[in-house]
Structure 1
Amino acid sequence: MSFDRDRGLLFVPPSTQDHIKGMVNATVVLVMYGDYECSQNADVFRLIKVIGRQLSVSLGENYLCFIFRHFPQVQIHPHAQRAAEAAEAAAAQGQFWQMHEMLFIHQQELGNGYLVEYANRLGLDISQFLQDLSKGAYVNLINADIEGGLQSGVEAAPALFINGIRYLDRWTVEQIMAAIVAAND
């Protein structure tokens, strides 16, 4: 297991302000800093979904908590910031995880027109969605995620923290699952 204990501690602890699947007081808390326009991020998110299903069957629903935080890498992904803002605008209407999934599924199509189409598919209030995007309502929230990531030593996404410690091993179901189970030892 490869954990970076020197530069790899999670600076901002998990809280109810985060986007959470599971319970914050779960046995293991997995925090992902992610970028919607990066294919590796989508792959890692799919791995985490598989791991989450397997762990909830074998160890119970309250074993793993998954938290997603934004880390758009705008220098290489020009649509990542706007996609993060769209996810937050959807969150304001109770649809974060649905938009989150949609953005990863369609990560090659993240222009403004597509974002509105996804919001429409989710049944969001489009005028509210557009208003939130046009006034940059969630830029500060996304910047806070980025700042917390930087303070935790994150330089690129995806970045995972398991119970507050940076995960640096291979991105496979087996390796991540082993690290999650070992975090409880």
Structure 2
Amino acid sequence: MSLKPSVSITDHAQGNDNADLVIVEYGDYQCPYCGAAYPVLKELMKEFGSQVKFVFRNFPLSEMHQYARPAAIAAEAANLQGKFWEMHDAIYENQGSLNEIFLFELAEKIGLNVSQFKTDIQKAELEDKVDSDFESGIMSGVNGTPSFFVNGNKFNGSAMDLFQVIRENAVN
């Protein structure tokens, strides 16, 4: 399966914007497998961040994970203050404590303007962004989290397997 739509400026990306290697993760903030992949991806970006563009798209499995969608919306709200990745990381690093009240504590912890955050999380366009990420996942054949795409093609491996792919492609 291939990635639809392809990566654009509406996506959350880190690393090298002009990298030849683009990794997209469809993730759910409450998914234990995404939680386990998180430190691996963090390490991968530390080692290869100059050679990789990493994109995160929301894929909250709301029926199984009651806080996945609120967490996705919280990360999108943090993005409005330029702190998407700080919130993304804070959620995964505190995944076991996840609940709606805790999201406000994280907002404060990462230095967001909390009253602005409270207003922002109610904005319909944040829900629309989460929904459009989710729909792009469905169109791309995502059926679980985390799901990875490498240069637009579905990657049937784990976060650890990504290391191997990147090592093979890395320019030393």
- After TM superposition, the score normalised by the length of structure 2 is 0.92
2:15–2:45 contact (8 Å) kept in structure 1: no
3-state secondary structure, aligned to 1:100: helix
Match of 1:176 among 154, 158, 162: 162
Matched with 1:5 is none
Matched with 1:3 is none
- Which stretch shifts more, 83-92 or 45-54? 45-54
Counterpart-to-counterpart distance in 2, 1:89 and 1:150: 23
3-state secondary structure, aligned to 1:134: coil
- Stretches of structure 2 that go unaligned for 5 or more consecutive residues are none
Matched with 1:162 is 150
Match of 1:69 among 49, 57, 77: 57
Following superposition, the deviation at residue 137 of structure 1 comes to 4.1
3-state secondary structure, aligned to 1:50: helix
Counterpart-to-counterpart distance in 2, 1:96 and 1:79: 17
Do residues 46 (structure 1) and 39 (structure 2) align?
yes
1:160–1:166 contact (8 Å) kept in structure 2: yes
Taking a change above 3 Å as real, the CA distance of residues 137 and 155 of structure 1, as seen in their structure-2 partners, is same
3-state secondary structure, aligned to 1:30: strand
3-state secondary structure, aligned to 1:32: strand
Number of positions where the alignment pairs a residue of Structure 1 with one of Structure 2: 171
Percent identical among aligned pairs is 34
Letter in 1 for 2:43: V
Matched with 2:29 is 36
Matched with 2:14 is 21
1:85–1:136 contact (8 Å) kept in structure 2: no
Counterpart-to-counterpart distance in 2, 1:53 and 1:114: 28
- Which stretch shifts more, 126-135 or 141-150? 126-135
Following superposition, the deviation at residue 172 of structure 1 comes to 5.2
2:29–2:91 contact (8 Å) kept in structure 1: yes
* Coordinate RMSD, CA, aligned: 1.8
Taking a change above 3 Å as real, the CA distance of residues 28 and 84 of structure 1, as seen in their structure-2 partners, is same
Counterpart-to-counterpart distance in 1, 2:123 and 2:129: 13
Following superposition, the deviation at residue 108 of structure 1 comes to 2.1
Match of 2:130 among 122, 125, 142: 142
Of Structure 1 and Structure 2, which has the larger fraction of its residues in helix?
A: 2
Letter in 2 for 1:129: F
Following superposition, the deviation at residue 98 of structure 1 comes to 0.5
- Stretches of structure 1 that go unaligned for 5 or more consecutive residues are 1-7
1:15–1:24 contact (8 Å) kept in structure 2: no
Do residues 118 (structure 1) and 97 (structure 2) align?
no
Match of 1:79 among 51, 57, 67: 67
Letter in 1 for 2:163: M
3-state secondary structure, aligned to 1:129: helix
Following superposition, the deviation at residue 155 of structure 1 comes to 1.2
